Amino acid sequence: MPHPIFMYSALGMGLILGGFGLNGSFRPDAHLVALGFPAHTDPKAQKLNYALMRIWGIRNIAVSALVTLIWSTGNERLMAQALCAVLPIPIVDGFVSRALIGGGEGQHWSFPPVMVVVIAGLFGFFD
């Protein structure tokens, strides 16, 4: 049986993702600037930014809710499988950041190594 720290780590990562989603949904300009993206003042560009941030935010909130619900079941194997499904999100987000602003991928790519360790622990690799 995996150590409980792995389930709590998965929950923590899920809640962090939900926090990012809430911030992006309700404070799109601030979140864009924090990620290094320009906050446009042109009304059409600003409308597009807000729409994309709402899409990004609800995605993160939904994934956070999923991870939290799985955590409440206590099923380590299911949590590991869910994190495997979530793993591409920060990887792709990093590539998008690099393509659009020429950097900022480190903000996204710091999560996958931690996720891989947690996934391995949940699958019982360290038992």
Helix (H) or strand (E) holding 118, with range, is helix 111-122
pLDDT of residue 37: 86
Which tens digit of pLDDT belongs to each residue from 7-38? 999 999 999 999 999 999 999 999 988 888 88
- The length of the chain is 127
Tokens of 75: 């099923």
Could you list the pLDDT tens digit for every one of the 127 residues in the chain? 678 999 999 999 999 999 999 999 999 999 988 888 887 889 998 999 999 999 999 999 999 999 999 999 999 999 999 999 999 999 999 999 999 999 989 999 999 999 999 999 999 999 8
What is the C-alpha separation between 57 and 16, in angstroms, rounded?
A: 12
Map out the domains of the chain as residue ranges: 4-122
What is this structure's pTM? 0.90
What are the DSSP calls for 15-66, one per residue?
A: HHHHHHHHHHHH-HHHHHHHTT-----SHHHHHHHHHHHHHHHHHHHHHHHH
pLDDT of residue 67: 98
Spatial CA neighbour of 10 closest among 90, 80, 88? 80
Tokens read off for 51:
């729409």
